[in-house]
Copies of this chain bind each other. A is one copy, B any other.
Amino acid sequence: MRRSAEVTKAAILAAARERFATDGYEKATIRAIATDANIDPSMVMRYFGNKDRLFAAAAEFDLDLPDLNAIPRDQVGTALVRHFLTRWQADDALQILLRTGVTNEAAAERTRVVFAAQLAPLIIHLVGDPGQAPTRAALVASQMLGMALCRYILRFPPAVAMSDDEVIAWMSPTIQNYLTGERPDPH
């Protein structure tokens, strides 16, 4: 039986997301993705052109960050940590960025853009000096991505063993400080 082009395209995209998320860019082969989607590899090329463009389509997504201004200022850290944990477990999107961004420049660029375009703007309204927003966003990203790396990618046993609530309890003060804490002076 046949499928419509749309359905097949969606199946390919879903298979591609899963492969990129678990294997990284180079180990996720077009042949494997095609097999997962029950289709011939050549169809992947027909619908997406080449591997780079398939990846671009698979890596398109939103962080869906909550509006930090609608949250009491002192609970912004907790809210953000909780959101990232949910977001991470909801689908493969963040896993794709992390697994591919480390070895593929285009993927790294995508990761930079996602965080710069979606995280930094939210922070601007939290801090007095807008010039500090990118730095604070980078600090937040470093802790969020770092924990995701240890927990979901490298699978450090203690990081895996922690409950979501424990992770939130430990990380919230850190993130809260990066978001709203006073800027420390280096000396």
Contact = CB atoms under 8 A, between A and B. Distances in A.
Contact of A158 (B138, B150, B162): B138
Given A103-B99, A154-B101, A184-B170, A145 B149 contact: yes
Contacts of A48: none
A43 interface: no
B165 A187 contact: yes
A162 to B, nearest CB: 6
Given A103-B24, A103-B27, A186-B163, A142 B138 contact: no
Interface in A59-87: none
Interface residues on A, range: 35 or more
A125 interface: no
Contact of A150 (B145, B154, B186): B145
Contact of A112 (B151, B157, B187): B157
A144 B143 CA distance: 8
B146 A115 contact: no
Contact of A108 (B141, B147, B154): B154
B141 A156 contact: yes
A67 B77 CA distance: 32
Contact of A142 (B115, B146, B177): B146
Contact of A156 (B112, B149, B154): B112
A133 to B, nearest CB: 9
Contacts of A98: 102
14 contacts: A26-B103, A101-B153, A102-B102, A102-B153, A134-B157, A135-B166, A138-B159, A141-B159, A142-B149, A142-B150, A146-B147, A169-B185, A173-B177, A173-B184
